[in-house]
């Protein structure tokens, strides 16, 4: 399938847009054409907006906005025409799930779909750079499940269970006090502070 030239994209977009947008498309087309004639493959939105300032080219943010899709499509056609990638490589890279893009009959829609697909790939690449594929991210929501790495060993569990058992309390001369504290049986002084029992029981339940 033949790639669209920037001129064809420009003409197609003008048929689908208002007169105001058409004027902006004309300005963008002129600036991008000048860039190509200079032999520069630099079509960033900020660059095109700066070069076209005072000539009818929208600001970079306006190009990035949702309403700036026709502008982005036209700029992308210049960038793509400079690269001229191998067509078979593009189809192979898309995989079976996205081969429908090349079957789109409307050339402008096909170009826009390719732009969105490229943005998808770029986003996926960024995610992989931020979170390596072999990195495990764990979330704790306060429920009963927890990471295997945080689980108590059998020996640790037995030790905690024994710590709050009646047998340990009796042998150590301790007793359960108010609010989860542990008291000395003789003088009723706090042996372990308030919430100690609660903390141990939660550890046994969630770990």
- Write down the pTM of the prediction: 0.46
Find, among 97, 106, 85, the residue nearest to 8 by Cα: 106
Q: What are the pLDDT digits (tens) for 119-169?
A: 676 677 666 666 555 566 665 555 555 555 567 777 777 878 877 888 777
User: What is the structure's pLDDT at 40?
Assistant: 81
**Residues near 201 by Cβ (< 8 Å), separated by ≥ 6?**
164
Q: Which residues pair with 174 in a beta bridge?
A: 184
Q: Give the helix, strand, coil percentages of the chain, each rounded to 5.
A: 65, 5, 30
Query: 1-5, 40-44, 111-115: which has the highest mean pLDDT?
Result: 40-44
Strand partners, 176: 182
Separation of CA 162 from chain center? 47
Higher-confidence residue of 134 and 201: namely 201
Q: Using one digit for the tens of pLDDT, what is the confidence trace for 24-62?
A: 999 999 999 998 888 888 899 999 999 999 999 999 999
| Nearest CA among 177, 173, 170, 207 for reference residue 192 | 177
Q: Tell whether the model's pLDDT for residue 111 goes beyond 50.
A: yes
What are the residues whose beta carbons fall under 8 Å from the beta carbon of 59, sequence distance 6 or more?
A: 49
**What average pLDDT does range 68-95 have in this prediction?**
69
Tell which residue, 95, 77, 65, has the closest CA to residue 28.
Answer: 77
Q: Which residues of 112-135 are buried (b: 16+ CB within 10 A; e: fewer)?
A: bbbbeeeeeeeeeeeeeeeeeeee
């Amino acid at each position: 399938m033949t790639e669209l030239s920037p001129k064809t994209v420009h003409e197609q977009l003008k048929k689908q847009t208002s007169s105001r947008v058409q004027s902006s498309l004309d300005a963008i087309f002129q600036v991008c054409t000048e860039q190509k004639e200079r032999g520069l493959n630099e079509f960033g939105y900020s660059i095109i907006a700066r070069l076209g300032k005072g000539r009818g080219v929208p600001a970079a943010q306006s190009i990035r906005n949702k309403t700036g899709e026709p502008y982005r499509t036209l700029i992308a056609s210049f960038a793509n025409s400079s690269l001229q990638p191998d067509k078979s490589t593009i189809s192979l890279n898309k995989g079976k799930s996205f081969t429908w893009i090349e079957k789109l009959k409307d050339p402008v829609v096909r170009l826009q779909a390719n732009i969105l697909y490229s943005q998808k790939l770029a986003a996926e690449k960024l995610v992989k750079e931020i979170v390596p594929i072999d990195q495990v991210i764990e979330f704790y929501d306060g429920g009963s499940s927890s990471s295997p790495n945080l689980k108590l060993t059998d020996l640790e569990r037995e030790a905690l269970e024994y710590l709050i058992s009646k047998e340990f309390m009796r042998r150590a001369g301790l007793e359960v006090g108010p609010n989860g504290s542990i008291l000395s049986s003789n003088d009723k002084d706090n042996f372990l502070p308030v919430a100690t029992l609660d903390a141990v029981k939660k550890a046994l339940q969630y770990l």
